[in-house]
Structure 1
Amino acid sequence: MIQRVHDLAQPLLESQGLELVLADLVLEDGRRILRIFLDKPGGITLDDCVRFAKEFGYLLDIHINIPGQYSLEVSSPGINRPLVKPWDFERFAGETVRVRTRIPIDGQRNFRGELLGITEGMVHIKLEEKTAAISFGEIHSARLCRD
């Protein structure tokens, strides 16, 4: 279903100059929530989120049958933005990141350091005393550390 949300959103995102950072359907306190995080060069505004939510809500109602009642939430990814696509790991090279892997690498699953980029599917992070090379496919979650 999330792939269908991505596909439906793409033309609208492009027309508004926005980027879909992450879409997720979650259950919180018995409520289903479709969360969409958007960004754009220079940062996303509240008006951007409101405009997208209004137009995308109509598209969802027409084209995707999400079973049951749900809420649509559209927002900024925040300062600690998630890194989801391979391009994110290139775009934010030089920033401090937190990465959690699916399985331990050298006995560790959590890494924090300077993102050096991605080459041939390997994400490179400069740690205190060494550089870690983590396969993009082994990353469970990653986000910027700006706080």
Structure 2
Amino acid sequence: MTFIVAVDGSEASDHALAYATDLAARLDTDLLVVHAVEPAVVDTGGDEPTGFDDAAGRLVAEAVEDAEANAERVLSAAANDVREAGVGVETELLYGPPLQVIPDVTERDGIEGLFVGHRGLSGRYEGLVGSVAKGLVERSSVPVTVVR
């Protein structure tokens, strides 16, 4: 039996990791800690663009190498925390949107549950764009525990 914990370096995912680690220790099971790499495109701000050239000057894309390096730091820190608690742990770097790649991992043999941090979005915003936690609950093939 193995539990998956999806981490992103946020405080909410740290809480999910701690909760899953405690439960795994009591059940004498292992954790698979995953992080989905999806380089971000960031709008540097300013007034609304008047044309494509204006928008292109404001958008900055994160390099895949930078996203991978950040992901490895997040996974390494998480694995260290789990090991310190005496729980067996493996890590896996996934590539793609979290709502597509994490549910695929839940379909593997021996996976019994998924733990993910909750992100406190307002009801209006969440209704408009959804949240990763909500999407994982809807798409995962195993029970999902959302931790605050």
Q: Under a length normalisation based on structure 1, what TM-score does the superposition of the two structures give?
A: 0.31
Q: Under a length normalisation based on structure 2, what TM-score does the superposition of the two structures give?
A: 0.31
Give the structure with the higher percent strand: 1
